[in-house]
Amino acid sequence: MRRVWSFVLSWAAVLVMLYGALFLAAAAADAYMVAFGGLKPGDLLWGYPAAPLGEALIEVGIGAGIVAVGFWVRVYARRLRLADS
């Protein structure tokens, strides 16, 4: 039973990492366009208003944090699976 839960936890962590990567990529594109692309905060980027550079960089950090949490959970699940065998 422990092996099944570690498998489920491992794949749930993959989904969390994918979500974090999408969040990170969108925020990084927003920050890049505001910093170097000539976009002003409030202009439309992919149908959404661009955030100010400070907020975009905070969102990049949040995305990186989500990816890191997913990575740590996956490592824990793999250790749990190895300890069971």
Q: Which residues neighbour 19 within 8 Å (Cβ) at sequence distance 6 or greater?
A: 66, 70
Residue 60: count of CB within 10 angstroms of its CB: 20
Instruction: Tell me which of 44 and 69 has the higher pLDDT.
Output: 69
Q: Could you report how far apart the first and last alpha carbons of the chain are, in Å?
A: 12
Mean pLDDT, rounded, of the chain: 90
- pTM of structure: 0.85
On the question of pLDDT at 40 being above 80, the answer is yes
Distance of CA 22 to the CA centre of its chain: 6
Q: Nearest to residue 9, comparing CAs of 70, 85, 83? A: 70
Average pLDDT over residues 1-12: 88
